Amino acid sequence: MTPAELAEVLGFAAFYDNRTLGEGDVRAWHLIVGHLDAADAKQAVVTHYGTTRDRMMPADMLRLATHTREDQAAHIQGPGLPPEIPDADPDDVPAYLAAVRQQRHRAAVTGTRRPVRELLAGVGRALPRPTRGTGPRSVPCATCGAEIGRACTRPSGARRATYHSARIDAAPPRAYLQEIS
């Protein structure tokens, strides 16, 4: 919200509490609530004065606008789609697509924002090698150093036809052997 929009919202609040506004008031409020949407801030004023006689402070506006946004976000399901069907005739393709775009825009605006650091936390991290269930290949070999999922090797580096006994002993039994016993 721009300082001009905030001045308009604070002027709207003045109708309720007869406050006087100056440029310093707008600057001070803008430091705390400047990131809010003007419509959300105005709705916070209405909600505040509809429930209390106390003079509204920046913390009140921030709390009420955030609460309103979270309430709106709670009704959104799926990848940016709210649960209701768009209010447009599906046979009128341009109107239906416009209604869907409007819903997605509203979902993007009201959605919970996550810090960039949290979103990038797993980027560049090595993924573990997938295992093939149970059996000797599900554990690394202590004798030849073969990794999980790789066959045992000879000292020359050639592949062995069988597994080392230490690897067989360390491996969990195969599922079909568990069913028999």
Q: Which of 50, 74, 98 is the last residue of a domain?
A: 74
**170 inside domain:** yes
Instruction: With CA atoms as reference, report the closest residue to 96 among 82, 110, 86.
Output: 86
What is the rounded end-to-end Cα distance, in angstroms, of the chain? 70
Give the model's pLDDT for residue 178: 44
pLDDT digits (tens, 9 = 90+) for 108-117: 665 556 666 7
The SS3 assignment for 26 reads helix
Q: pTM surpassing 0.75? A: no
| Domain-terminating residue out of 74, 94, 114 | 74
Distance CA 23, CA 28 (A): 9
The confidence score (pLDDT) of residue 101 equals 81
Partners of residue 153 on adjacent β-strands: 159
Q: State the Cα–Cα distance between residues 7 and 169, nearest whole angstrom.
A: 75
Q: Is the pLDDT of residue 128 over 70?
A: no
Judge whether residue 132 has pLDDT over 60: no
On whether residue 70 sits in a domain, the answer given is yes
Give the residue, 133 or 100, on which the prediction is more confident.
100
- pLDDT of residue 22 exceeding 60: yes
93 lies in some domain:
no
Domain count, the chain: 2
Q: For position 89, what pLDDT does the model report? A: 82
- Which of residues 30, 46, 74 is at a domain's end? 74
Opening angle at CA 50, ends 48 and 51, nearest 5: 70
The whole-angstrom separation of Cα 47 and Cα 42 is 9
Mean per-residue pLDDT of the chain: 80
Q: Is residue 97 part of a domain?
A: no
**107 pLDDT tier (thresholds 50, 70, 90):** low
Name the region of 18 (left: φ>0; alpha: ψ -120 to 50; beta: rest). left
User: Is 139 part of a structural domain of the chain?
Assistant: yes
The label of the residue with tokens 């400047």 reads: 34
Stronger pLDDT, 34 or 101, i.e. the higher one = 34
Interval 37-60 mean pLDDT? 91
Residue 102 has pLDDT above 90, yes or no: no
pLDDT value for 143: 92
Burial class (CB in 10 A: 0-12, 13-18, 19+), 36: buried
Residues spanned by the domain of 39: 3-74
